[in-house]
A and B are shown apart, each in its own frame.
Chain A
Amino acid sequence: GEDVEQSLFLSVREGDSSVINCTYTDSSSTYLYWYKQEPGAGLQLLTYIFSNMDMKQDQRLTVLLNKKDKHLSLRIADTQTGDSAIYFCAERMDTGRRALTFGSGTRLQVQP
């Protein structure tokens, strides 16, 4: 079955890099996503990666995928206080039920 797990909390200092980790169980997942949720707001799609890729970079964001270990990470370079939010990873299969399965989210706190 589908299951996505994330650590609950991460605290970093402004200017440092943040690495948010996620593990998933379904080996047939073909798309993996990262969303950001600020307090009182809906989710914002940050980036996604296809399962045939190992890495994707988009400005300050780097996504790494280890398909063998079913491990996904999001690295935020030069973390700013505006990056404080909850980050969700999500997986989606390309066949069968295509709905996203979300993790429970990692709260990132950026200390000034």
Chain B
Amino acid sequence: EAGVAQSPRYKIIEKRQSVAFWCNPISGHATLYWYQQILGQGPKLLIQFQNNGVVDDSQLPKDRFSAERLKGVDSTLKIQPAKLEDSAVYLCASSLGTGAPDTFGSGTRLTVV
């Protein structure tokens, strides 16, 4: 079974630029999650989708972050404009149900300079 695919693996941008991350979950997994993991901390949920609907985006900074999962399969997360404090690893995860993520991708490490 293929895992959760994420790209790019690394990204370095200047502050105020925009960036987009892509995620392809495990086939058949209805629930997709985006997490932000700042160095030395546990992951923090940004947004959770079930199929193509948003279940929880309460911690997503909506003035600069957006995410979509138009066809209920793959998803993109965008930051525009980026700030220095957005430097983190962005993890995508998926699961069959809505309980908890069981499979994570390797993440995209974002550095904002």
A residues with a Cβ closer than 8 A to B are: 4, 31, 33, 40-45, 48, 88, 90, 92, 97-105
A-chain residues with CB within 8 Å of residue B98 when the two chains form the complex? 98
Task: Please provide the chain B residues from 96 to 113 with a CB less than 8 Å away from any CB of chain A in the complex.
Answer: 98-107
B residues at A contact (CB < 8 Å): 4, 40-45, 48, 56, 58-59, 91, 93, 98-107
* Beta-carbon contact of B102 and A105 below 8 Å: no
B-side contacts of A103, CB under 8 Å = 42
B100 x A48 contact (CB < 8 A): yes
Chain B's closest residue to A92 (CB) is: B100
- Given known pairs A33-B100, A48-B100, A97-B56, the reply for A102 and B43 (CB within 8 Å) is yes
Please indicate the chain A residues that have their CB under 8 angstroms from the CB of B48 in the complex.
99
**CB neighbours of A90 from chain B (8 A):** 42, 100
Q: Is the interface of A mostly helix, strand, loop or mixed?
A: strand
A48 to B48, CA, bound (A): 20
Judge whether A100 and B100 touch: CB under 8 Å: yes
Chain B hits for A100, CB < 8 A: 45, 100-101
Question: Chain B contacts of A105 at CB under 8 A?
Answer: 41-42
Q: Which chain B residue lies CB-closest to A105?
A: B42
Q: How far is the CB of B61 from chain A (nearest CB, A)?
A: 15
Docked Cα-Cα span, A88 to B35, in Å, equals 14
Given contacts A40-B106, A41-B106, A100-B45, 18 further A-B contacts (CB under 8 A): A31-B100, A41-B104, A42-B91, A43-B43, A43-B101, A45-B100, A45-B102, A45-B103, A48-B100, A90-B42, A90-B100, A97-B56, A99-B58, A99-B59, A102-B43, A104-B40, A104-B42, A105-B42
A105 to B40, CA, bound (A): 8
- Nearest 4 interchain pairs by C-beta: A42-B104, A102-B42, A99-B45, A45-B102
